Structure 1
Amino acid sequence: MNPTAFDDIRPYHDEELPAVYEELIADPAFQKAVSSIMPGVPFEAIAQKMRSCRTKLEFQKAFCYGLLWNIVKECASGLTIDHSALPDKEKPYTYISNHRDIILDSGFLSILLLDLDMSTVEIAIGDNLLIYPWIKKVVRINKSFIVQRALTMRQMLEASALMSNYMHYTIRDKKQSIWIAQREGRAKDSNDRTQDSVLKMLAMGGEGSVLERLAEMNIAPLSLSYEYDPCDYLKAQEFQLKRDVEGYKKSTQDDLLNMKTGLFGFKGRVHFQVAELINDDLLKLDASLPKTELFACVSALIDRKIHANYRLYPGNYVACDLLDGTTTFAGNYSAEEKQTFEDYIAGQLDKISIPNKDVEFLREKLLVMYANPVINYLAASR
C-alpha cells in the first residue's frame, strides 16, 4: 500500500511541522489553552520554542517531557517502569495495555521510554477526543495516529483495514513502536479485558495466516497500575446515571472534565510493567481453530499477561475486604493504610453531586474498581 494512503490518519511528517506550528500559533483557542497550561510564560516565547523544534521527537522533548514529569511531581507519588522482559532497545514493539487514563497512559509510557534511551511510541487515539481542531493538530505533532469512530459498518471496515495496514507499515518499515489500548475506551470497573475486535483489526494488515500477521506486530502486553484513579468518582457517577437515565450518554464537556481530572488529580504510585512478546505463545496455538475461537484465545493470552503483571497497592486489598466484609487480605495492609483508603473513598463519594445520589451503589462501584485488579491477578497467577 502506498504510504500516501495514510495521510489522513498518520502523525505529521517532520517536514510538515513548520506550517502546522504557524497554524497553531495563529489560533486563539490554542493560545488560550497554552496560557492555562503554562501560566506566566509569554506566548511569544512558546511560539519561538515551537519553531525551533525540527522533529516530532524534539517537540516532545521540548514540551511534553517536562510537562509530564511535572505532573508526576505535582500529582503522583512516583512513576516507574520495568522493561527488562524486552532488553532489545532497537526493536519496534506494539504495546497493548489496559487503559486507565485518556492522556497519561501513553504519555507516561513515552517519557519512561525516553529515560531508557528508547524512542517514544506512536499513539492510537480516538477521533471522539479531538474536540477542537487545535487538539487534532497537537496530537499529530505528538506522534498520534487517528482511530476513526462513529462510522457506518462499511466505513468502519474500511477504516479498520487502513489503520491495520498503517500499524503494520509502522512496525515493519518505519521500525517505530506503537501504543494501543486493549479495548475502545477505559474499563470503567477496572476489569481489564482485551476486545477481540482490536485483534481482528490488527490481523487485517500484514501477510500470511492470522497468527503470522499478529506475530509481525511484536505484541508486548503492558500492565498499568495506578494506585488511585482520579476519575474513579466520575466513572461511578456514570454508572448511576446510566442506571437511572434512559439513553444516557456522556457529553463533550464530560470528556473534557475526565481529561482534566485525569491529568491533574492525585494518582499515588504509578507503575508500568512490560511482559515478554507473545510471539512464541502465538506459534503454539492451533492455527486451524475457527477465527472467532482463535481471537478469543489470543485475547485471553494477553489478558493473563496483563493481569499477572499488575502491581497491587494496599488500597486494592482493602477494597476486596470491604466488598466481602472479610479480612482475607488483612496481611497486605496495615490499620493505618486501611483508614487512609476508607477516607479516600469517602472523599471521592463527596465529590459526586447528582439527583437521587445512591451512596451505597456508588460506594460499591468505587470498591469494585479497586478490587478487580486483585481478583484478576489471583486468577492469572494460579
Structure 2
Amino acid sequence: MIIPGKFDEIRPFVPEELPLVYERLLADQQFLQVVKAVFPDAPLEALKQQMYSCKTLLDFQKTFFYGIVHNIMKKSGNGFELDAPSLDRNSNYTFVSNHRDIVLDSAMLDVLLIDNKFNTTCEIAIGDNLLKLPWVKDIVRLNKSFIVLRGLPMRQMLQASKTLSEYMHFAISEKKENIWIAQREGRAKDSNDRTAEAILKMMTMGGEGSLIEKLQKLHIVPTAISYEYDPCDFLKAKEYQQRRDMEVFRKGPQDDIISMQTGIMGYKGHVHYCAAPCIDDFLSGIDSETPKTEIYRIIAEHIDKEIHKNYHLYANNYVALDFLKGTSDFADKYTAEEKARFEQYLDGQMAKIDLENKDEAFLRERMLTMYANPAINYIKANA
C-alpha cells in the first residue's frame, strides 16, 4: 500500500521501517534501562530476537504490549472487560471515548479488541506534548499511534488539523484500521465527560461528501470507560488547587511523566469498557438543512448521552454522590463496608497531596466530584 508522503510526520511506522527503528531503540541506553525494568528476567538477546521477528505493528503489539498490559492489570487492577454487542468484529470503527488515563485507556482497548476477536487493534491519536523523548516517540509509533501536533501558530494548526483528519479517513477507508481518539483534548479532570465539538470539526476537515457523510465514513462508536479507582485522582485534585491559587499555573515538564507512571502503577480496581452502537444510523436521521453549528452540537450531545448511559457504576460512585450531597439517597447501592472502604481510600489519597497551603475541604470536594459525576450523568442519561 502506498501511503501519501504528507502523512510521514504523524503516521505510525510501516513494516519496511521496522528494522531501522529496532536498531535505533536498541542503541538508546534509556530505552534499554526501561526494557530491563519491564522484563527483568528476560535476556536482552532473546528480546532482540523477538523484536526483529515482528514484521508488522500488530505483531509487535501482540508480542510485547499485549502481555505488558495484562501484567499491569494483574498487579494493579481487578479485571477489565469490553461489552460491544452491536459491533461487527470484521468492520472498522473510530472509537470516541471519555479519557481517564493517559496511557492505559487506549492500551487496554487494544488488548480487549484482541481478546474479543476483532480483526485488528486501533491506531491511537496521541498529542506530541507527550513525546519529548525520541525513544518514546518511536515506541508509540510502534504501538500504532498517530501524532496530533499541538502548540502551533494558527495557520499551521489549521493545516495540521486538516492533515490529521485526512489521515484518519485514510486509516479507516484504505488501511482498514480502527482508530481510538479521546472525546476532547486532555483528560476530564472532574470526570464530567463532554465531547468537544472541535474534535468533530477536525474530523470533517478531511474526507469527501457532506459533513454528515464525512462523519459516517469514520463509523464513530461512542465508548464509555469506567475505572473503579482513578490512581491519578489526587494529582488531578492537586492541580485544581494549584490552578485556583496561582494566577498563572503551568504544568512542569515532569507532570505528564508522573501522571503516566502513577496511572500505570497505581491501583485501578475493576475497569469496564462499553462500546455503544455505531452512530451512522443516527447521523442519517439528522435533517440535511440543519445549520452546521447545530449539527456539531447535536452529534456531540448524542455521543455524550451514549457514553453516559453506558458507564459501569461502582459502589464508589454512589458513595461519593451521597457524601457530596450530604444525603443517603443511594444507600441501597452500597454496603456499610464499601462505604467505609471508600472513605479510607479517600483519606489515603488525600495524604499523598503535597501542597504548602493544603485546602483539605476543597481537595476532598474535588475528589468526591470526580467519582460522583459519572453517577450524576448516568442517572440523567438513563432517566
Q: TM-score range by the shorter chain?
A: over 0.9
C-alpha separation between the residues in 2 aligned to 1:295 and 1:80?
31
Please, which runs of 5 or more residues in structure 2 have no aligned partner? none
Structure 2 residue identity aligned to 1:164:
S
C-alpha displacement of 1:206: 1.1
**Identity percentage of aligned residues:** 54
C-alpha separation between the residues in 2 aligned to 1:36 and 1:242?
35
Matches within 5 A, 1:308-327: 308-327=309-328
Match of 2:299 in 1: 298
Instruction: Deviation per CA, 1:206-246: give whole Å up to 9, x if none.
Output: 11111111111000000000000000000000000111112
C-alpha displacement of 1:301: 0.5
C-alpha displacement of 1:287: 2.4
Matches within 5 A, 1:36-185: 36-86=37-87, 88-118=88-118, 119-185=120-186
Please, which runs of 5 or more residues in structure 1 have no aligned partner? none
C-alpha displacement of 1:40: 3.7
What is the SS of the residue equivalent to 1:145? strand
Instruction: Deviation per CA, 1:85-105: give whole Å up to 9, x if none.
Output: 21x111110000000000100
Structure 1 residue identity aligned to 2:116:
L
| TM-score, scaled to structure 2 | 0.98
C-alpha displacement of 1:2: 6.4
C-alpha separation between the residues in 1 aligned to 2:89 and 2:21?
31
Matches within 5 A, 1:166-315: 166-315=167-316
What is the SS of the residue equivalent to 1:252? coil
What is the SS of the residue equivalent to 1:179? strand
The more displaced of 311-320 and 57-66 is 57-66
CA contact (8 A) 1:131 1:252 kept: no
C-alpha displacement of 1:306: 0.2
C-alpha separation between the residues in 2 aligned to 1:236 and 1:211?
38
Match of 1:16 in 2: 17
Structure 2 residue identity aligned to 1:103:
V
C-alpha separation between the residues in 2 aligned to 1:295 and 1:206?
16
What is the SS of the residue equivalent to 2:78? coil
What is the SS of the residue equivalent to 1:224? strand
Moved over 6 A (4+): none
C-alpha separation between the residues in 2 aligned to 1:130 and 1:324?
41
C-alpha separation between the residues in 2 aligned to 1:45 and 1:356?
51
Structure 1 residue identity aligned to 2:98:
N
Instruction: Deviation per CA, 1:20-43: give whole Å up to 9, x if none.
Output: 100110111211222222224333
C-alpha separation between the residues in 2 aligned to 1:280 and 1:120?
24
C-alpha displacement of 1:377: 0.6
Structure 1 residue identity aligned to 2:274:
Q
C-alpha displacement of 1:271: 0.5
Instruction: Deviation per CA, 1:104-160: give whole Å up to 9, x if none.
Output: 000000001101122111000000000200000011111000000011111111000
Instruction: Deviation per CA, 1:167-208: give whole Å up to 9, x if none.
Output: 001111111110000000000000000000000000111111
| TM-score, scaled to structure 1 | 0.98
Aligned residue pairs, count: 381
CA contact (8 A) 1:287 1:294 kept: no
